[in-house]
Chain A
Amino acid sequence: MNLKTYLFDKATVKSDIKRFWWVPAIFMLLLALFVLPRAVYSIDTGVSIDINHMSDEGFFALMFGFFLPGMLFSYLHKGNAVSFVHGLPSKRTTIFISHIFSGLIMLYLPIIIGGAVIGAEGMYFEGHIHYALKYMYTCGVYTTLAFMITTFAMLISGNTVAGYLFSLGFIILPGFAVTFTEAILSTNVFGFLRFEKDIINFIYLTFIDEVCTWKSLWYIALIIILFFVCIWLYRIRRLENYDEIVAFNPLKIVFMYTVAICFGYFGYVIFYDITDINALFLAVLPLGFAALIAAYMLNKKSFTFKGVLKHMIIFTALIAAVKITIAYDLTGYERRVPDVSELASISPYDEDAESTYYQYYKVNKGEAVYANKGYLLIHPIDVSVKDEKTMSELISIHKNILERERSMFKAHDENDNWDSNIKLVYNLKDGKHITRFYRFKLSDYDDCIAPYYENEQYKLAHYPLMNGVKKNIRYVTYNSPVFADPLELADMDRDKLEEALKLDIASLTYDTFREERNSYNSGEYITINYTEDIDCEGRTYTYNNSLDFTLNREFKNTYALISDYMADHAGKYIDLDSFKGIYIAADPYYEDYETGEERYETEANIMNKGEMKAVFDALRTNSQYIDESIDNTEMREVYITFTRDGGSQYGQHKTHIFKPYNQIPPEIRKYLKETKPEKTVHAGTLG
């Protein structure tokens, strides 16, 4: 056997190129119009290319890779064409490989030409072709994968339009499945954690600088697998099945139920979004049935209902099985709490605290920069609890949560008052992990949970400043509610400041965490921008980060340093004498429909200079104030505006604080009602 003639048919390749030369021509034209100028410009000017724009190149490659197989293999979907092609003296394998070969030539040619232009520019200006190689690799992977997916779709379908729809379906199906599975499980399974890593980005290769990651190897592996599967399919395909939606009989049933399940759960999610009614069984059925019947009719190529009832019953039974499994926790997922004897450690995470203070590190080809979705995320600090006593306590809390919250969750009582998102990761001795996620109101668990917010490990995990790695502080700024702009603490002893902050963080109490959770804001905060070297996976990465610390009464050491510093920098405060008065507004606001103005339940205009000074001074030091004799800790938001002559908006200074009532200085508190008034309807509002 001559392998060359067995695998390759010159006439087929030439004919494909002759007939579809315009595809690479358009591809090249689009590259020339939209991609090459920007790439060349970026090399010429040394401006780094916006990563989002780079996806354009991937888009064109993806698009043409997606469309071309539909043209190359459309003959399979027409009776006369398939008879002609397969009546010719060529083996099926030869025909298939020849089409693939010609298709890839047409797709690669524009990419190679584009890459050559970019490479030449790169060589001329920068002396390397690194970017050109990345460009060619990315587009090559994109286009080949899209090409093979559509080829696969064209082979399993007997209709070109259906083939394209299948291909689109295959491309979006992983994303669809992940999104909807997450949506369904998170609303129905108590303790279910949305997939920790952004799995959509994990599945889809989306940025050009990702191409050299191991992810692209999966893509290449998939391409190779699809290639051999397609050869096999082409060899066994019954050519008489042109014009069928699904050309392989065993796949017809798969198609029908897949379509029904996808549409059914899509219907469920939409219904839930619109009505807020969680009907996992009933809401799936209408769209599911409609899709099932439509797919059945497409399979039969007839508007017939005959025989569809059986499939509707099976579909209903499937959905019912899913519903029952979830509703009665037949898998035991919800009730599963490991025994301490199974555990190596437990890693508890407070997701809200994490989002406020914690930064992930991104590891990407030797650079550690800000975290972005889709990158490998690592925790630089092990926050695991390993001692048996603490682990037992955490397990007790977990059981307590299960007991108290699960029935509420199952009853679909949303309990919107939750203010905490806790993730528990059980690291089992056998190397496996059990992860659960719960939302609840923190105050319901004050007694048992407080120690975990006050212990050293929690603070270590949630404040990068505490991680023990030497920080190279680049700048520090301080902002006060009575500053016009943040003040850079240029000549402050940064080491001292860092030490003071560490001391304060170490002594932070559970109460302050709860206040933080309630959006505590004193208007006084410090921003520290620093770099640090992080060791990860055997390499050292330099990481740049900015941390904001909103000062509260427990940042005593830090505040003392700031106070000393500000004694010499008083000029940074706004000039109180230049203001005519202070307007204080608080509590619920309403819109007066007669005047169109926003009005507050509590309002005060202070014109007296002495009272203005008192308010000004109180704001300067408000982060440190607390009146222990007052029990009222209700969070109150106060808007303070320093006004100019004539009520002009120009030059006004606005600030606001959001604190417990007993932490609002008396000079401001006296303008508030002790109890937050209810939002009322004013005469004007009915207009």
Chain B
Amino acid sequence: MTDYDVMIKAENVTKSFDGFKALDALELTVRKGSVYGLIGPNGAGKTTFIKSLMGIYRTDGGNISVMGEGVYENTPLKQKIIYISDDLFFFTTYSIKEMAKYYAEVYESFDWEIFEKLGSIFKIDVKRKCRRLSKGMQKQVAFWLGICTKPEVMVLDEPVDGLDPVMRRNTWAILLQEVAERGMTVLVSSHNLRELEDVCDNVGIMFNGRVVLEKSLDDVKGEIHKLQIAFGGGAMPDELAKELNILHSSKFGSVQTCIVKGDVEGIKHACGAHSPLICDILPLTLEEIFIYELGGMGYEFENILI
């Protein structure tokens, strides 16, 4: 990836709150025109990173740049970035139209034509007060206004939380259209991994203030697989177990299910040498990748019985 391709770059970013390290030497790179999914457990530091990226928080160390420039107090650069937070804010007395006027004054590239066009999609009366709208409708308004500013970078924190399924699809469709047509870059933080799986080009998994995995979704998926295997003798031969990079293993009857890192052909070849009765290699969902990756770092799913 050349520097020209990089839209967002975070290098060795640290940020502490009262001694607690929310970001710890964080490294992250987002390609221009890509959709980057930032995922991680609660408290991993995703929102802190996003607010630092937006120049809301000042970092304690390191560097965050967008298009090669620091964002903090960089007004021209911030004209090109839109941030839609999980916890939205609108001026108390403002209607959608008034908020749009405010955005139009703040953002030089605000496009009223797009505003009118999107009005037919979102179908919300522009005279309605923003604060009186439901959470889902407020999210729609935030997208609506954000898209109208024609940003080069859109930073989304839990973007579709609260949207109904139809509006989710609409929203993603609009976003992806902007990515496709204008080369807009999207950094999205969400816990809805199923949805991210459909839209993201790249993912970064954050844990304890660091990005512990950052790859294209295809690479991630090509690296980790679910292996369902059974042998005549019952148990998996020890040699095979040592040969495979098994992240997680469970057994149900004679079928052993393993989460294995490695390419499909290599796994197939290793398994074939031990003549298994059954050998299926299945792709993993992003959610499974998330769980098994973090499982190895001590953030594990527990079978809790109360």
**What is the interface of chain A, defined by CB distance below 8 A to chain B?**
10-11, 14-15, 18-19, 75, 78-92, 94, 238-240, 249
Q: In the bound complex, how far is the Cα of B78 from the Cα of A14, in angstroms?
A: 21
Q: B87 in the interface, Cβ–Cβ < 8 Å?
A: yes
B106, A89: Cβ atoms closer than 8 Å: yes
Q: Are B56 and A239 in contact, CB atoms less than 8 angstroms apart? A: yes
Q: List the B residue with the shortest CB-CB distance to A240.
A: B57
Measured CA separation A10–B93 after assembly (Å): 19
A87 with B105: CB separation less than 8 A: no
- Chain B nearest CB: distance from A326 CB in Å? 38
Knowing A90-B75, A91-B75, A238-B58, the reply to whether A19 touches B93 (Cβ < 8 A) is yes
* Known A14-B105, A240-B17: A80·B73 in contact at CB below 8 Å: no
B51 nearest CB neighbor, chain A only: A83
Interface contact A80-B85, CB-CB below 8 Å: yes
Q: Which of B107-150 contact A (CB under 8 A)?
A: 107
Given contact pairs A87-B56, A89-B76, A11 touches B102 in the complex (Cβ within 8 A): yes
Q: Which of A10, A84, A90, A238 sits near B85, CB closer than 8 Å? A: A84
Given A82-B56, A83-B56, A238-B57, A89-B85 contact (CB < 8 Å) = no
Asked whether B83 lies within 8 Å of A83 as measured between CB atoms, the reply is yes
Give 6 A-B contacts (CB < 8 Å), ordered by A residue: A11-B106, A87-B85, A91-B75, A94-B75, A238-B57, A239-B56
Q: Which residues of B contact A11 (CB under 8 A)?
A: 102, 105-106
Q: Using C-beta atoms within 8 Å of the partner chain, give the interface range for chain B.
A: 20 to 34
Nearest first, the 7 closest Cβ-Cβ pairs linking A and B are A89-B78, A11-B105, A84-B89, A80-B87, A80-B89, A87-B83, A89-B79
Q: Please tell me which one of the listed residues A10, A238, A240 contacts residue B105 in the complex, with CB atoms under 8 A apart.
A: A10
Cα separation A10 to B85 with both chains bound (whole Å): 24
Query: Quick check: A78 and B89 within 8 Å, CB to CB?
Result: yes
Of all chain B residues, which has the CB nearest A82? Answer: B56
Scan B44-57; emit 1 where CB is below 8 A from any A CB, else 0.
00000001001111
Bound state CA distance, A283 and B221, in angstroms? 72
Residues of B within 8 A of A (CB): 17-18, 51, 54-58, 73, 75-79, 81, 83, 85, 87-89, 91-94, 98, 102, 105-107
Given contacts A83-B51, A83-B85, contact A15 B102 (CB under 8 A): yes
6 A-B pairs besides A19-B91, A83-B83 with CB distance below 8 A are A18-B93, A75-B89, A80-B89, A81-B89, A83-B51, A89-B75
Q: Which residue of A lies closest to B99 (CB)?
A: A15
Residues of A within 8 A of B93 (CB): 18-19
Contact B73 A92 (CB under 8 A): yes
Residues in B with CB closer than 8 Å to A238 are: 57-58
Measured between beta carbons, the chain A residues less than 8 angstroms from B55 are 86-87
Which of A78, A80, A92 counts the most B-chain CB atoms under 10 A from its CB?
Answer: A80
Given A80-B88, A81-B89; A87-B54 close (CB under 8 Å): yes
| Interchain CB contact (< 8 A) of A239 among B57, B75, B76, B78 | B57
* B8 smallest CB distance to A (angstroms): 15
**Which of A15, A84, A87: most chain B Cβ within 10 A?**
A87
Distance between Cα atoms of A139 and B81 in the complex (Å): 43
User: What separation, in Å, do the CA atoms of A91 and B77 have in the docked complex?
Assistant: 11
A120 to B57 Cα, complex, angstroms: 52
Residues of chain B within 8 A of A239, CB atoms compared: 56-57
Taking CB atoms, residues of chain A closer than 8 Å to B91 are 15, 19
Could you tell me the distance between the alpha carbons of A91 and B106 in the complex, rounded to whole angstroms? Answer: 12
